[in-house]
Amino acid sequence: MDAVKRYFRSPAAVIGLILLLLVIAMAVSAGWLYPRDPLALAGRPLLWPFTNPRFLLGTDNSGRDIAAQIFYGARISLLIGGVATIIAILIGILVGAFAGYYGGWVDNVLMRITEAFQTLPNFVLLLVLVAVFGSTLTTVTIAVGVVSWPAPARLTRAEFLSLRNREFVQAGKTLGMRDIQLILGEILPNALPPVIVYASVVMAVAILLESALAFLRLSDPNVASWGNLIGLGRDVLRVQWYVSAIPGIAILVTVLAVSLVGQGLNDALNPRLKSR
């Protein structure tokens, strides 16, 4: 439990955790605080924040409650960020593990593919995927996951390369364990911690990618997402800039929270690096 103690000794990590819990609380309580559809008409359009107690954060161009959209948007951001991260990490672990464990031509082929994904700009590939498969919540989530796996793959591969010739793996081989047992049961648990920590970076980027896509109106228009709201607010930016400003702060806080928690985990799990 040293790691937990170390985590809570860092003020930045604690702040990150509090912010993250706050965003999660928003996502959980959205349906309970705002039982109505957040995309339904609620009142007069373009009410400034704090002018009407019914709409604390005001209303957008078409009279929808901004606060409700922020709460429901937390769900969408966490959902897309979380699921896309899981997809990216799973693909990354699979590719990295096989490349690192087998080496030789398997490594060569897999690394070429990884390189191809890294050479093509993330966001451009994301545009291609959206152009081909459309922009529903599911396709956007999968697309964000599919463009984010190369970095975790490289990380996993590096871990596997350094672990595959250790004594415990040799011992497993001598015992007659099959490759898949060695990869999943022996090496992977040891290779996992840095990859899990890196997941926070993937998640932060995934949330930013989705919000950028939504801002360009290429994400699912039928859900209340922060990026959508910023894109909508752009039409009234000159005077009612708050429509864009508020959801942007929500994105900033969420990404900041995820990064701080990731950094805190990293420092807690690798205490030697911290002292630098």
The answer to whether 41 contacts another protein (rule: CB under 8 A) is no
The answer to whether 91 contacts another protein (rule: CB under 8 A) is no
The Cα–Cα gap between 23 and 257 comes to 9
Which ranges of 134-187 does DSSP label H, i.e. alpha helix? 137-147, 150-163, 167-174, 179-181
The answer to whether 40 contacts another protein (rule: CB under 8 A) is no
| Closer residue to another protein (CB): 169 or 260 | 260
The answer to whether 137 contacts another protein (rule: CB under 8 A) is no
Q: Tell me which DSSP letter residue 222 carries.
A: T
Tell me the closest approach of the beta carbon of residue 86 to another protein, in angstroms. 21
Candidates 78, 88, 77; CA nearest to 211 is 77
The answer to whether 252 contacts another protein (rule: CB under 8 A) is yes
8, 41, 52, 123: which one contacts another protein (CB under 8 A)?
123
Number of Cβ within a 10 Å radius of residue 103:
14
The Cα–Cα gap between 100 and 107 comes to 7
Q: How many residues bind another protein (CB under 8 A)?
A: 47
The answer to whether 121 contacts another protein (rule: CB under 8 A) is yes
Q: What is the DSSP string of 243-254?
A: HHHHHHHHHHHH
| Closer residue to another protein (CB): 36 or 274 | 274
Query: 253, exposed or middle or buried, with CB in 10 Å at 0-12, 13-18, 19+?
Result: middle
The answer to whether 236 contacts another protein (rule: CB under 8 A) is no
The answer to whether 215 contacts another protein (rule: CB under 8 A) is yes
Q: Which residues bind another protein (CB under 8 A)?
A: 12, 112-113, 115-116, 118-133, 204, 208, 211-212, 215-216, 218, 227, 230, 233-234, 237-238, 241, 244-245, 247-248, 251-253, 255-256, 259-260, 276
